[in-house]
Structure formats: structure tokens, C-alpha cells
């Protein structure tokens, strides 16, 4: 049924090629395929990989585009090609990206916003070429960030996410909130706090619009008090559990439920915790202080104070630490999980420090910065976090995090396994971070914010069938350290002075790890006895 490959014989092209070249074992991949190169005994794919390096080099030499800036960007990404790993897929990837640059002009200077606008959309079918173009654009952005020409992708996403609540506010107040966000940024407020401020303001102004209040100078102290009451309480039907908002102007319970029709079934229940309402009140006070400085209001309408709850330290039972320690020293433990648990339990690293912990590096004369092999290191580098508004902790006194000699025998096999994992992920040679993920391995950037939490959740589920989070686990370590060596030791582990000494007198509350939903109970794990007093060293 196919068209004939020869004029004098009815034979299709596939069968003619098999008869001509032979069906044998490929010398490169070892599979039985039709040979496309008889002299080298290579199949079609392996033969294309053999020719890919010369083909790509010829394409890069003859590449041209009507847009000069696109040519500069293409040369930049081509300069970072690892020619030892060039195959047919990489050859195809650069050719597709080259055709994209020949047809689309990128803005100069290139920014992450421009990259997001230039990303081709992914449809239901035909996704291969758009995905290759998108990967090249992201790689180009990371290269420009490493050269210091644009901000990092992480910083850009954090800033964009922080400004997203402005779109939910009334349109006539969006520019005002944008100016307020700029002022918060000038005070070195972290982006997560900026987002919290803007979310609080957007909800407040939407609620105020329902009461015909649209500008800051129209806000009175009574309006703020009524708004805080709506955050404190709400009405709930005792029969159908229907919830309706609390109206401060009509404080009597509704007589009839609109859902089930029950009479006198509404009761007043708590809506938000006291500390949450206190945080909302604090953010409104900061906003109207800024408005007062800019002469938008005469007085600050936020005059009501809310008492803070008594502080408590929530921590896991110490038996959880004992079980996790037995998993760390086990040779069958996952190496990444073991090293993350080790850094939390024995060095009290926070989530930010886990993401940014680095491998010691050497600087050769002719090459760039190269990390040492993990089998050779006996310390890590923990950089200090940039100062921000409200951050009082001075951090650790030293950037160097030494590994105790008695921990190296059982820790070094895990480090060697992590080194192998880094090689399998084709980690960039200049990547100095200890933890790498699929997206961060090819660039010198830290892993995502949820990566350490996922590792801890997975490890704790393997050990005792429950789910721990790294923050509470670190607090548990702080409780143990304070009981053994006193609260002052915590200052050397990144705690602020007041927080460190608070571990000796603040009431403690034992919490238990979360139970996973719809999961089978895990098998019992054999635990080993760990001598915790040895942690004094």
C-alpha cells in the first residue's frame, strides 16, 4: 500500500533501507535497529548524535538575524554550550530557537517581564517546539542574571507576586497602593510582608466601598473599629452550618436562616484568631501612618489596640528527633533527606539557610569558580540573609559550618551519593549550592521555597508515617539545645537574643506531626539509641 522506493521493484523505502544497510546491533546504543552508517555500525539516532556537534557548529557560524540585539543574545547562549554533551536534541533545540530569534524581535535591554511576554503558548498538541523555545528563553534570562545585567528570576517572581493584590483593589486606589508598595520597598521590607500589607488593604478597601468610603481621608476611627469587629466574629447557623458576615450596625442575630429556614438558629462564632486580627490592625496602622506623612489624612484613624496572646513555643515530642536521627545514620536512607535532616537537627538551619547552603569552592587560575567534590569537604558555607525591615536576628557568627569528625563516617556516604545525583542531573559546574532541583541544577541559583519542606515531609513519612514541617522541627531542636546548654547557645545558631533566652522561660506546647490524609499506616521502624548529650560539642 506504500509508494515504491525503486522503479523496477515494488518495495517500500523502509524495507529497501533495511535490505541495503542491514538490521544489526548498533555499536553505540546496543539495540537491534536498521543501520544508517555501516562503517561505524550506527543506527539513525546514534548517527545523528555523531554528526550533531559539527552540524551545530556550522549553524552557529552561519547564523544571522535582522535584529542585532537578537544576534547578541544568541551568541551569549551559544557561548555556554557544553560541547561534550551535544547531541541531536541540542542541535534541534538551538536551530528552533534560532528561527524564533529570526522572526521575533526581543526588547533591549531584555527583562524577565519581556521574557514572559515573549514565551510562546503551549497548546494541546504540537508542544515540543514551544517548550524548546521557552527553555532557551529561561536559560537566557538566567545567564543575564548571572552576569548582573538583570535581577534573578526568584527576585522577579517574588516582586511580581507581592504586587498581585493591587489588581483586586478598587481601580481608583490602585495607584495609591502602588506608591505605598514602593515606600515599603524603600524601607527594605521583604516581598512576603509587602504582599501581606497589600492583601490587607485590598480587602479593607473593598469592604469600605460597601459602606460608601472610597478615599483615605473619609476613614474614621469608628469605621476601623467596625471592620475589626467583622474580622473577630461571624454568624453561623447551628443546624445547616451556614455562615454569614457580622454586621456591626445590626448586632442582633438574624431571626431566620436563609438556607434552611430555621428560626433563631444563628449563633455568634469566632472568625479569625486574635493574633491575626492584631496583624490586620497593625498593617492598617502602618498604611495610615504613611498617609499621614504624605498629608492624605489629618489623624491616624487606627486608634484601637488589641492585646497580643501569651507567647508559646510549639514543638514536637523529643521521640520524633530520636526516630529521625536513627534514619539519618542508616546507610539505606535517602541521601538528600538524610543531609537535610542532619542540617536541621544538628545545626538548626532554617528553611532559607537550607536553600542557600553552599559547597566550598576553589578558584583556578584559568577557569571559573568550581565547587569541591562532596567527598572532600568537611564544612559547608551558610551565607547571611540580607537585612530587612523588622529582621533583628544578626544571624550566625560565622559563615563556616563545620562537620564534626565523628559524623563524617556515616555522613560521607550520603555526600558521595548526592555528588552522583548532581552528576546525573547535569548540574552546572558553577552551581555552588548543596541542594539542587530539576529547575536549579543548570543554573547557579537556590532551590525553591517548598523544596526543603517537601524533603522533610517525605522523610518523616518514611520514618513514622506522619508529616513534620522544618520550622517546628527547628523549634524542637532549639528546645533541646536550650535544655542542654542554656538559651544563650541559640544565639550562635541564628536566633535573635530575645528569642534565644525566651526558650528558657516561655511556656511550651507539645504538638504532634500531622497525619497524612487517605494513607495507610507506615510500618514500624527500628530505632537506634542516640546519645543526645553528645550534641553539646
Look up the pTM and report it.
Answer: 0.77
Pair 108, 173 in one domain: no
Q: How many CA atoms lie within 13 A of 238 on its CB side?
A: 9
The mean per-residue pLDDT over the stretch 268-277 comes to 90
Would you place residue 165 in the very low, low, confident or very high pLDDT band (cuts 50, 70, 90)? very high
Structure confidence by residue, pLDDT tens digits, 182-225? 999 998 898 999 999 999 999 999 999 999 999 999 999 999 99
Q: Which of 243, 258, 293 is the last residue of a domain?
A: 293
3-state SS assignment for residue 3: coil
Pair 336, 288 in one domain: no
Residue 12 included in any domain: no
Pair 458, 409 in one domain: yes
The mean per-residue pLDDT over the stretch 127-151 comes to 92
The mean per-residue pLDDT over the stretch 220-248 comes to 90
The mean per-residue pLDDT over the stretch 363-372 comes to 58
Would you place residue 532 in the very low, low, confident or very high pLDDT band (cuts 50, 70, 90)? very low
Residue 174 has pLDDT above 60, yes or no: yes
pLDDT at 518 (0 to 100):
61
**SS3 readout for 391-460:** CCCCCCCCCEEECCHHHHHHHHHHHHHHHHHHHHCCCCCCCCECCCCCCCCCCCCCCCCCHHHHHHHHHH
DSSP letter for 254, please: P
Pair 456, 322 in one domain: yes
Neighbours of 273 (CB within 10 A): 12
* Distance separating alpha carbons of residues 101 and 103, to the nearest angstrom: 5
**Domains identified in the chain, total number:** 3
CB neighbour list of residue 229: distance below 8 Å, 6 or more residues apart: 246, 248
Would you place residue 369 in the very low, low, confident or very high pLDDT band (cuts 50, 70, 90)? low
CB 324 within 8 A of CB 242: no
Would you place residue 367 in the very low, low, confident or very high pLDDT band (cuts 50, 70, 90)? low
My answer on whether omega of the bond before 213 falls inside 30° of 0, hence cis, is no
Would you place residue 521 in the very low, low, confident or very high pLDDT band (cuts 50, 70, 90)? very low
pLDDT at 33 (0 to 100):
84
Pair 238, 340 in one domain: no
Structure confidence by residue, pLDDT tens digits, 21-59? 777 888 888 888 888 887 888 888 898 888 899 999 999
CB neighbour list of residue 127: distance below 8 Å, 6 or more residues apart: none
Structure confidence by residue, pLDDT tens digits, 438-489? 878 888 888 988 999 999 999 999 998 999 999 999 999 999 999 999 988 9
**SS3 readout for 174-242:** HHHHHHHHHHHHHCCCCHHHHHHHHHHHHHHHHHHHCCCCCCHHHCCHHHHHHHHHHHHEEEEECCCCC
pLDDT: is 8 or 419 the higher one? 419
Burial of 91 (0-12, 13-18, 19+ CB in 10 A): buried
Residue 409 has pLDDT above 80, yes or no: yes
Residue 162 has pLDDT above 80, yes or no: yes
Pair 217, 325 in one domain: no
Give Cα 467 distance to the centre of its chain.
Answer: 19
Of 87-101, 254-268, 457-471, 483-497, where does mean pLDDT reach its minimum?
Answer: 254-268
Structure confidence by residue, pLDDT tens digits, 384-399? 888 777 666 667 888 9
Pair 136, 208 in one domain: no
Pair 136, 279 in one domain: no
pLDDT at 116 (0 to 100):
94
Would you place residue 133 in the very low, low, confident or very high pLDDT band (cuts 50, 70, 90)? very high
Residue 11 included in any domain: no
CB burial string 369-386: b at 16+ within 10 A, e below:
eebeebeebeebbbeeee
CATH classification of the domain holding 452: 1.10.443
The mean per-residue pLDDT over the stretch 498-525 comes to 76
Residue 157 included in any domain: no
The mean per-residue pLDDT over the stretch 165-181 comes to 94
Pair 56, 135 in one domain: yes
Pair 142, 182 in one domain: no
pLDDT at 339 (0 to 100):
94
The mean per-residue pLDDT over the stretch 330-351 comes to 93
Residue 10 included in any domain: no
pLDDT at 260 (0 to 100):
83
pLDDT at 241 (0 to 100):
85
* Residues above pLDDT 70, as percent of the chain: 93
Of 139-148, 214-223, 356-365, 380-389, where does mean pLDDT reach its minimum?
Answer: 356-365
Pair 387, 254 in one domain: no
The mean per-residue pLDDT over the stretch 422-437 comes to 83
CB 472 within 8 A of CB 345: no
Residue 362 has pLDDT above 70, yes or no: no
Residue 214 included in any domain: yes
Residue 300 included in any domain: no
Q: Mean pLDDT across the chain, nearest whole number? A: 87
pLDDT: is 322 or 363 the higher one? 322
Residue 1 included in any domain: no
pLDDT at 364 (0 to 100):
56
Residue 421 has which C-alpha cell? 545525583
Structural domain span for residue 56: 21-146
* Residues above pLDDT 90, as percent of the chain: 52
Q: Which of 116, 146, 176 is the last residue of a domain?
A: 146
Pair 127, 186 in one domain: no
Of 66-70, 109-113, 253-257, where does mean pLDDT reach its minimum?
Answer: 253-257
Residue 511 included in any domain: yes
Compute, in degrees rounded to 10, the torsion defined by CA atoms 491, 476, 533, 394.
-10
Residue 368 has pLDDT above 80, yes or no: no
Residue 525 has pLDDT above 60, yes or no: no
Placement of cell 484601637 in the chain: 304
DSSP letter for 150, please: S
pLDDT: is 265 or 316 the higher one? 316
The mean per-residue pLDDT over the stretch 312-318 comes to 92
The mean per-residue pLDDT over the stretch 289-302 comes to 94
Nearest to 311 by CA among 338, 278, 275, 346: 275
Amino acid at each position: 500500500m506504500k509508494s515504491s522506493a525503486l522503479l523496477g521493484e515494488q518495495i517500500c523505502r523502509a524495507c529497501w533501507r533495511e535490505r541495503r544497510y542491514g538490521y544489526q546491533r548498533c555499536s553505540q546504543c546496543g539495540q537491534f535497529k536498521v543501520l544508517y552508517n555501516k562503517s561505524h555500525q550506527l543506527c539513525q539516532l546514534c548517527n545523528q548524535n555523531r554528526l550533531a556537534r559539527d552540524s551545530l557548529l556550522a549553524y552557529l557560524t552561519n547564523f544571522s538575524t535582522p535584529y542585532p540585539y537578537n544576534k547578541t543574545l544568541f551568541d551569549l547562549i551559544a557561548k555556554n554550550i557544553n560541547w561534550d554533551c551535544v547531541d541531536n536534541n541540542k542541535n534541534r533545540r538551538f536551530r528552533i530557537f534560532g528561527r524564533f530569534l529570526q522572526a521575533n524581535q526581543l526588547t533591549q535591554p531584555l527583562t524577565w517581564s519581556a521574557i514572559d511576554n515573549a514565551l510562546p503558548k503551549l497548546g494541546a498538541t504540537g508542544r515540543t517546539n514551544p517548550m524548546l523555545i521557552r527553555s532557551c528563553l529561561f536559560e537566557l534570562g538566567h545567564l543575564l542574571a548571572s552576569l548582573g545585567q538583570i535581577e534573578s528570576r526568584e527576585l522577579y517572581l517574588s516582586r511580581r507576586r507581592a504586587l498581585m493584590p493591587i489588581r483586586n483593589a478598587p481601580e481608583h486606589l490602585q495607584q495609591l497602593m502602588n506608591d505605598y508598595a514602593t515606600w515599603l520597598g524603600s524601607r527594605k521590607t521583604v516581598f512576603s510582608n509587602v504582599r501581606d500589607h497589600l492583601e490587607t488593604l485590598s480587602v479593607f478597601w473593598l469592604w469600605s466601598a460597601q459602606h460608601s468610603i472610597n478615599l483615605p481621608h473619609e476613614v474614621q476611627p469608628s469605621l476601623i473599629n467596625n471592620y475589626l469587629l467583622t474580622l473577630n466574629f461571624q454568624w453561623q447557623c447551628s443546624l445547616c452550618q451556614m455562615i454569614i458576615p457580622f454586621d456591626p450596625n445590626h448586632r442582633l442575630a438574624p431571626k431566620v436562616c436563609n438556607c434552611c429556614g430555621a428560626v433563631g438558629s444563628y449563633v455568634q462564632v469566632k472568625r479569625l484568631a486574635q493574633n491575626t486580627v492584631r496583624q490586620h490592625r497593625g498593617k492598617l496602622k502602618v498604611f495610615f501612618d504613611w498617609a499621614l506623612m504624605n498629608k492624605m489624612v489629618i489623624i491616624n484613624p487606627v486608634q484601637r489596640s488589641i492585646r497580643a496572646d501569651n507567647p508559646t513555643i510549639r514543638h514536637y515530642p523529643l521521640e520524633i528527633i530520636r526516630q529521625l536521627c536513627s534514619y539519618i545514620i542508616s546507610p539505606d536512607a535517602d541521601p538528600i533527606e538524610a543531609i537535610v535532616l542532619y542540617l536541621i537537627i544538628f545545626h538548626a538551619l532554617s528553611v532559607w539557610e537550607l536553600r542557600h547552603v553552599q559547597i566550598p569552592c576553589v578558584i583556578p587560575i584559568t577557569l571559573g569558580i568550581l565547587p569541591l567534590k562532596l567527598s572532600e569537604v568537611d564544612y559547608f558555607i551558610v551565607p547571611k540573609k540580607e537585612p530587612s525591615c523588622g529582621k533583628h536576628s544578626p544571624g550566625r557568627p560565622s559563615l563556616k559550618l563545620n562537620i564534626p569528625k565523628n559524623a563524617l563516617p556515616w555522613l560521607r556516604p550520603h555526600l558521595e551519593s548526592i555528588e552522583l545525583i548532581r552528576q546525573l542531573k547535569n548540574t552546572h559546574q558553577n552551581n555552588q549550592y548543596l541542594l539542587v532541583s530539576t529547575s536549579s541544577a543548570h543554573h547557579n541559583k537556590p532551590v525553591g521555597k517548598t523544596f526543603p519542606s517537601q524533603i522533610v515531609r517525605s522523610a518523616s513519612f518514611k520514618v513514622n508515617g506522619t508529616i513534620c514541617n522544618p520550622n517546628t522541627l527547628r523549634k524542637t531542636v532549639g528546645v533541646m539545645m536550650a535544655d542542654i546548654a542554656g538559651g544563650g547557645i541559640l544565639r550562635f545558631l541564628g536566633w535573635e537574643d530575645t528569642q534565644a533566652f525566651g526558650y528558657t522561660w516561655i511556656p511550651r506546647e507539645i504538638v504532634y506531626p500531622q497525619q497524612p490524609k487517605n494513607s495507610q499506616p507506615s510500618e514500624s521502624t527500628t530505632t537506634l539509641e542516640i546519645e543526645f548529650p553528645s550534641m553539646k560539642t
